[in-house]
Structure 1
């Protein structure tokens, strides 16, 4: 996994956490759920990249 991919995934994860927190703060379930989905996508991307790295070795 390249450093750019790791950084991008981390930014997506942090953005998702911020969005989730904002949704909780404002009582907006839609925004909260979007944040959770952003975090899940980031985790999935990390997992796929880790599998790719394992096959490269």
Structure 2
């Protein structure tokens, strides 16, 4: 996961929290729901990127182990 993606996803999550808080403060249910949805979307993206990072790390570890075993 690139640093830009991490920043963008975190910004989306924070924006969702702000939107939800404003919705709470103003009794605006639509804004509350949009904020919660933004947060859920950002967290799903972060989870997907974490899985992708884990697969990449495992592949690199396997490659290093193979190189060590064959050299």
- 2:12 maps to 12
Across the aligned residues of Structure 1 and Structure 2, the Cα RMSD in angstroms comes to 0.5
Task: Give per-residue Cα distances to partners, 1:12-34, cap 9 Å, x unaligned.
Answer: 01100000001001100110010
Normalised to the residue count of structure 2, the TM-score between the two structures is: 0.78
2:50 equivalent in structure 1: 50
Structure number with greater Rg is: 2
Give the equivalent residue in structure 2 for 1:23. Answer: 23
User: Structure 1: which 5+ runs fail to align?
Assistant: none
Q: Which has the higher contact order (CA 8 A, sep 6+)?
A: 1
| Equivalent pairs, count | 57
Task: Tell me, in whole angstroms, the C-alpha distance in 2 between the residues paired with 1:18 and 1:55.
Answer: 33
